[in-house]
Amino acid sequence: MNTLSRRAALFGSLSGAGLLLSGCDRLTQSQNVQRIFRGVEDWTRRNQRLLLSGGQMAREFKPSDISKEFKANGTLNPGGDEYMRHVDEGFLNWRLKIDGMVANPMALSVAEIRKLPARTQITRHDCVEGWSAIGQWTGAQLGLVLKAAGVSPRAKYAVFYCADNLDGEPSKGGSQSPGQYYESVALVDAFHPQTLIAYEMNGQTLSVAHGAPLRIRIERQLGYKSAKYVQRIELTDNLAGISGGRGGYWEDRGYEWYAGI
Ligand SMILES: Nc1nc2c(c(=O)[nH]1)N[C@H]1C(S)=C(S)[C@@H](COP(=O)(O)O)O[C@H]1N2
Ligand SMILES: [Mo]
């Protein structure tokens, strides 16, 4: 990316944050949400450093580039009593926990995440199975939330825990052994400005097939890193003790952990 577009991206995020902050007085916010808002300025400075030091942005597209069809893949509905109860309740009681190596563990509702400064981006999703689709995603920047949670300087990874268990069903990718879907990224990707806790796709509330109510978008790596149905984000310095120890459901079954495009 050239300096100009990098700068444009940076100013985009600066003005976006400013706009939302001016309307902030009217919102009744929980302590967590207030804490996240207080971090905005600091966070934009951190973005600036990341981008100026050569952190790459994934390519962004125009609204007219959005694919007519965006295949839903992997789990299309986690099912089970608990998830279906959340669906019935409109995800009112869904909580995204942020815990592990953080100073301020949090449990955020979807409504609280929707109150944070939002970022919208149109990106191409590349699945390891060989298909791609361009979609528009809206969500809160994960980095802003992590900033407020106070990530320990010793933490190295963000681990995303999802609500679905793949059960080794052939329709969900073959004869792999059963397991809860999870993923992880290094902190440089967790704090990347395009890494979102997304709640809208193509301007609509995220559907169950695409990961309702919240999914992660990791734009510089293959599709399997973008965890759907995310319920918990753990900060850690070691992936070895988690599930198969290789940092993700598919990684435990042989895929690369760093799935760069
Ligand atoms: N929780 C969960 N996240 C997941 C998957 C899954 O099965 N479960 N599949 C992954 C894969 S392989 C891809 S390509 C994308 C598909 O996202 P989509 O359904 O929005 O197209 O989600 C990824 N995240
Ligand atoms: Mo995929």
For the chain, domain boundaries: 57-253
pLDDT value at 1 more than 90: no
**Low-confidence winner among 26-35, 86-95, 144-153, 171-180 (lowest mean pLDDT):** 171-180
Q: Which CATH class is domain 57-253?
A: alpha beta
How far, in Å, is the centroid of ligand 2 from the Cα of 4? 32
How far, in Å, is the centroid of ligand 2 from the Cα of 128? 5
pLDDT value at 174 more than 80: no
The arithmetic mean of pLDDT across residues 245-252, rounded, is 95
The pLDDT assigned to 29 comes to 58
pLDDT digits (tens, 9 = 90+) for 20-58: 444 444 455 578 888 888 888 888 888 888 887 767 899
Position with higher pLDDT, 43 vs 226? 226
pLDDT digits (tens, 9 = 90+) for 193-224: 999 999 999 999 999 999 999 999 999 999 99
The pLDDT assigned to 227 comes to 98
- Which atom of ligand 1 has the smallest separation from the CA of 73? 19
Nearest CA to ligand 1 atom 12: 224
Nearest CA to ligand 1 atom 24: 227
Place of tokens 């793949």: 166
Query: Which ligand ends up closest to the CA of 72?
Result: 1
**Low-confidence winner among 14-18, 124-128, 166-170 (lowest mean pLDDT):** 14-18
The pLDDT assigned to 34 comes to 87
pLDDT value at 176 more than 80: no
Nearest CA to ligand 1 atom 5: 74
How far, in Å, is the centroid of ligand 1 from the Cα of 75? 7
The pLDDT assigned to 35 comes to 86
pLDDT digits (tens, 9 = 90+) for 229-239: 999 999 999 99
The pLDDT assigned to 167 comes to 66
According to DSSP, residue 171 is labeled: G
pLDDT digits (tens, 9 = 90+) for 114-133: 999 999 999 999 999 999 99
How far, in Å, is the centroid of ligand 2 from the Cα of 72? 9
Side chain identity, residue 85: R
pLDDT value at 18 more than 50: no
Among candidate residues 9, 66, 35, the one with its CA nearest the CA of residue 146: 35
The pLDDT assigned to 42 comes to 82
pLDDT digits (tens, 9 = 90+) for 53-90: 767 899 999 999 999 999 999 999 999 999 999 999 99
Kindly write down the DSSP assignment for every residue of 175-238, as one continuous string: SPPP-EEEEEEEHHHHTSTT-EEEEEETTEEPPTTTTTT-EEE-TTB-GGGS-SSEEEEEEES-
Show the 3-state SS of 3-37.
HHHHHHHHHHHHHHHHHHHHCHHHCCCCHHHHHHH
Query: CA neighbours within 13 Å on the CB side: how many for 151?
Result: 26
The answer, yes or no, to whether the previous bond of 213 is cis (omega within 30 of 0) is yes
**CB-CB contact of 252 with 243 (8 Å):** yes
Burial class (CB in 10 A: 0-12, 13-18, 19+), 27: exposed
**CB-CB contact of 219 with 195 (8 Å):** yes
The pLDDT assigned to 75 comes to 94
**Low-confidence winner among 64-68, 161-165, 169-173, 250-254 (lowest mean pLDDT):** 169-173
- Which atom of ligand 1 has the smallest separation from the CA of 72? 19
